[in-house]
Amino acid sequence: MRLKCNSWSMNKDQHLLVKLAISILLLGFAFRLLLFRSNGFAADFLSPMFWKQYVQEPDFNPPVSVGMPENEDQVPLDIVIEKCDLFTGDWIRNPSGPTYSNESCPFIEGHQNCMRNGRPDSGYLNWRWKPRDCRLPRFDAERFLKLMRNKAWALIGDSISRNHVQSLLCMLSTVEQPVEVYHDEEYKSKRWHFESYNFTVSNIWSPFLVKAAIFEDNDGVSTAEVQLHLDKLDKTWTYLYPSLDYMIISTGKWFLKAAIYHENDLKVGCHLCPGKNLTELGFVYAYNKTLHYVMDFIANSKHKGLIFFRTSTPDHFENGEWHNGGTCPKKTPAKEREIKIKDLNRILHDVELEEFEKAAAKAGNNEVNLKLLDFTNLLLMRPDGHPGPYRQFQPFAENKTAVVQNDCLHWCLPGPMDFWNDVIMEMVVRG
């Protein structure tokens, strides 16, 4: 009987030990589970197996473009934007207005001095260009001049280039007044010098970029077709080309004019030349040929400066054109898709992009720094920025209903063109 009791007692003790062991195991498991939840994988977090299974591999795809706040001064400094399209954006309100006035700047040509000529509205002055996925600082004239110390700039092209030179000089003159040091016989090509910085800005008149004989007055009235040599670059700009550190090259609207085309010193055709017994080749033929020749020259030049090719700018004539009563009555900017580019402007723009793309790869292989300034869409949205009837001084002073020539091609200064300089400076700074 006693033996049985002792045996039962031993069995009871063994049962207790088993229960105790199970309890300890359960407590350990519970503790481990608690540690897992509170410390995030605890010791397993450090194991190579964890990194292989749970850590995301680096993403080598380009980051998605970050939307920018309305006030770019509030952009966090830690935001890095890979993609930066300075040419896609909107015109937004700018209550501070321009950095200069028509009275403070002596470089504005009379036809673009809209305020002096009596334009009654001033709302067109209170807008600024804002890219959608980039921060675009305002043009800093002092910084620009410091960057350009001992450098030479040239803007090469037609009257739109001259319009742009005036804008740039007006903005730079808020720091220092330049001195005109050169002009040609017709005062179409000029050069200015900023003495404190030994910096020169040139306006080189070359509306076709190739050799041309032009028979036209300042109002655009022609007495004969342009004689255009499509395979001979205009020496007016190629002669100075090697000595320039920066240049902006452009052309465009002049190719719409009546012209006779020459290649290899032979007449090969024309545009708008009835009765001349020549093949009507059209302006697209001439524009393609010219830009291809110009771009090929640049791409193979081994030039070590920075060369911009600027696209042509749209006009906003309504109910007619320059020569037959067209006007531009808009008083505010247009939103994107509210305004459609004219067919002729679109064709010019398409040719420009096509020829630039062809040249860009070749330029890169030759270490030529060629960049595109595609301002076409930027100014397409500014039908309010032209002189209109105020290309003349006080056109309605004597007759409120006078019929006068409207300018819906060039731009008021101050005006939308000033913001080209914001974009250009940003591209110069970024290299």
- The neighbour count for residue 169, using CB atoms within 10 Å, is 23
Judge contact between 420 and 167, C-beta under 8 A: yes
Q: Is the pTM value of this prediction over 0.85? A: no
Residues 306 and 424 in one domain: yes
Q: Exposed/middle/buried for 96, CB within 10 Å: 0-12, 13-18, 19+?
A: exposed
The dihedral through the CA atoms of 234, 240, 112, 332 has a sign that is positive
Residue 424 and residue 308: Cα distance in Å, rounded? 9
pLDDT at 73: 40
pLDDT at 337: 85
Per mean pLDDT, which range of 11-15, 44-48, 351-355 is the poorest?
44-48
359 part of a folded domain: yes
Q: What is the number of structural domains in the chain?
A: 2
65 part of a folded domain: no
With a pLDDT cut of 90, the percent of the chain lying above it is 76
261 part of a folded domain: yes
Q: Which residues are catalytic?
A: 159, 407, 410
At 268-286, the pLDDT tens digits run 999 999 999 999 999 999 9
At 82-96, the pLDDT tens digits run 468 999 999 999 999
Q: From 312, 307, 313, select the one nearest 295 (Cα to Cα).
A: 307
Residues 40 and 83 in one domain: no
128 part of a folded domain: yes
Residues 121 and 243 in one domain: yes
**Structural domain harbouring 7:** 2-54
Residues 14 and 96 in one domain: no
Residues 185 and 269 in one domain: yes
Q: From 206, 261, 201, select the one nearest 229 (Cα to Cα).
A: 261
Residue 201 and residue 97: Cα distance in Å, rounded? 25
Residues 8 and 79 in one domain: no
pLDDT confidence of 20, banded at 50, 70, 90?
Answer: low
62 part of a folded domain: no
Residue 374 vs residue 430, higher pLDDT: 374
63 part of a folded domain: no
Query: What integer is the mean pLDDT of 199-217?
Result: 96
Residues 33 and 100 in one domain: no
Residues 42 and 86 in one domain: no
64 part of a folded domain: no
pLDDT at 205: 98
Residues 7 and 48 in one domain: yes
pLDDT at 217: 79
Residues 242 and 362 in one domain: yes
Residue 244 and residue 306: Cα distance in Å, rounded? 9
Residues 41 and 96 in one domain: no
Question: At residue 323, what is the residue type?
Answer: H
pLDDT confidence of 320, banded at 50, 70, 90?
Answer: very high
66 part of a folded domain: no
- Which CATH number characterizes residue 244's domain? 3.40.50.1110
Residues 79 and 219 in one domain: yes
Q: Exposed/middle/buried for 427, CB within 10 Å: 0-12, 13-18, 19+?
A: middle
At 237-247, the pLDDT tens digits run 999 999 999 99
Residue 292 vs residue 18, higher pLDDT: 292
Q: Which residue has the tokens 């020459």?
A: 262
pLDDT confidence of 64, banded at 50, 70, 90?
Answer: very low
